[in-house]
């Protein structure tokens, strides 16, 4: 994590001087001699955001997530705190801090969006001081959003009760989170959001819009099984998509019909990397959707008793910053 701290952008400052040095970001000359933007010229900060990089995070991965929240802040000016914990056997004894600021121009010269980063690198032995330091870095009158990235164990993350209890949303990515992430007794489980579910928004929308053209009772009449197929890279997406389909079809009456819901590897000859198949007792009735996230195309084939329908549509996952926004505000 020390390597991550060193690699992330920013100027290292004394921990006790973070607030003072942040204020100076917008009133002093920049590091290359350029004038900085006055704070009053920027849009007011809208959210507090904590990005917690777990011990399994690599330097490259950390840089990617840093850029994600930076892109997010172009729409939602933010005060962002990045936490970089050190392994238990690291010899460091003190917390280190960096600050970084950047502004982005909107559609007009007067539309400026600014982001402020505080990066904190800390060893386990000063862990008890972390919450107080984070609270100092955040704006007290703004909501807090907490993103736990690549943490190794739910129980270990649960030690950060201050952040988990105060956050309006807690974001995790079930594709890389511990298996018990959604069954662990979090302080506020109702605020937990999965970035996989958010990334799937365009897929859920396109399938939902197609199926909404048919009567709910027709969708579940004679339905025996729903299978979501996936390639090796989309196991998490298939699991989340299946759970969404189960909720929606159960609302149509599938639960009373005893429908089975299954995930399975997608046959090689089908193509694509995600697929949905409805299996009916009447073999003339069917629904198939196949999506190729690499090419951006998907195909529908269906017959619910009124004749065969085929359709080609676009398909994609939300960009990381858009998925973050979806998870935070919906």
- For 107-126, what is each residue's pLDDT tens digit? 666 677 788 999 999 998 89
- Using alpha carbons, list the distances in angstroms from residue 292 to 178, 181, 297: 27, 28, 6
Strand-by-strand arrangement of the 47-53 sheet: 11-13, 96-105, 112-122, 78-85, 47-53, 144-149, 169-172, 192-194
The residues, ordered by sequence, that sit 6+ positions from 213 with a Cβ below 8 Å of its Cβ are: none
Q: Is the confidence at residue 37, as pLDDT, over 70?
A: no
Q: How confident is the model at residue 29 (pLDDT cuts 50, 70, 90)?
A: very low
Q: What span, in angstroms and rounded, lies between the C-alpha atoms of 99 and 119? A: 6
At 195 the three-state DSSP class reads helix
Q: Is the confidence at residue 42, as pLDDT, over 70?
A: no
- Can you give the pLDDT at residue 169? 97
Q: Can you give the length of the chain in residues?
A: 330
Contact 157, 185 (CB under 8 A): no
Q: Is the confidence at residue 34, as pLDDT, over 70?
A: no
Contact 79, 119 (CB under 8 A): no
Q: Is the confidence at residue 221, as pLDDT, over 80?
A: yes
DSSP 98-130: EEEEEEEE-SSTT-EEEEEEEEEEE-GGGGGGH
Q: What is the pLDDT of residues 43-81, one digit of tens each?
A: 468 899 999 999 999 999 999 999 999 999 988 989 999
How far, rounded to the nearest angstrom, does the alpha carbon of residue 111 sit from its chain's CA centroid? 27
The pTM is what?
0.91
Q: What is the pLDDT of residues 248-259, one digit of tens each?
A: 999 999 887 889
* Residue among 160, 149, 158 at smallest CA distance from 53: 149
* Residue among 154, 107, 111, 163 at smallest CA distance from 134: 163
Residues pairing with 276 in the sheet: 228, 289
């Amino acid at each position: 994590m020390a390597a991550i701290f060193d690699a992330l952008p920013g100027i290292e400052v004394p921990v006790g001087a973070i607030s003072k040095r942040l204020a100076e970001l917008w009133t002093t000359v920049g590091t290359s001699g350029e004038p900085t933007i006055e704070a009053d010229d920027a849009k007011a900060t809208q959210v507090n955001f904590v990005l917690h990089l777990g011990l399994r995070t690599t330097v490259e991965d950390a840089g990617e997530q840093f850029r994600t929240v930076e892109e997010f802040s172009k729409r939602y000016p933010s005060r962002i705190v990045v936490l970089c914990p050190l392994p238990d056997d690291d010899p460091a004894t003190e917390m280190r801090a960096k600050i970084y600021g950047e502004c982005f121009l909107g559609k007009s010269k007067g539309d400026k969006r600014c982001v402020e980063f505080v990066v904190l690198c800390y060893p386990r032995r000063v862990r008890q001081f972390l919450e107080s330091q984070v609270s100092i870095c955040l704006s007290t009158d703004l909501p807090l959003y907490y993103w736990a990235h690549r943490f190794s164990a739910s129980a270990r993350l649960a030690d950060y009760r201050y952040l988990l209890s105060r956050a309006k949303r807690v974001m995790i990515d079930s594709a890389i989170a511990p298996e018990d992430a959604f069954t662990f007794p979090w302080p506020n489980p109702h605020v937990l959001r999965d970035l996989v579910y958010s990334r799937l928004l365009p897929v859920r929308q396109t399938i939902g819009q197609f199926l909404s053209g048919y009567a709910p009772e027709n969708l579940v009449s004679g339905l025996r099984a729903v299978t979501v197929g996936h390639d090796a890279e989309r196991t998490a997406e298939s699991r989340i998509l299946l759970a969404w389909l189960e909720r929606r079809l159960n609302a149509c009456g599938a639960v009373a019909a005893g429908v089975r819901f299954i995930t399975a590897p997608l046959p090689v000859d089908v193509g694509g990397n995600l697929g949905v198949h409805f299996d009916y007792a009447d073999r003339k009735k069917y629904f198939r959707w196949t999506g190729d996230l690499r090419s951006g195309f998907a195909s529908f084939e269906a017959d619910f008793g009124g004749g065969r329908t085929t359709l080609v549509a676009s398909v994609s996952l939300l960009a990381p910053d858009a998925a973050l926004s979806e998870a935070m505000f919906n």
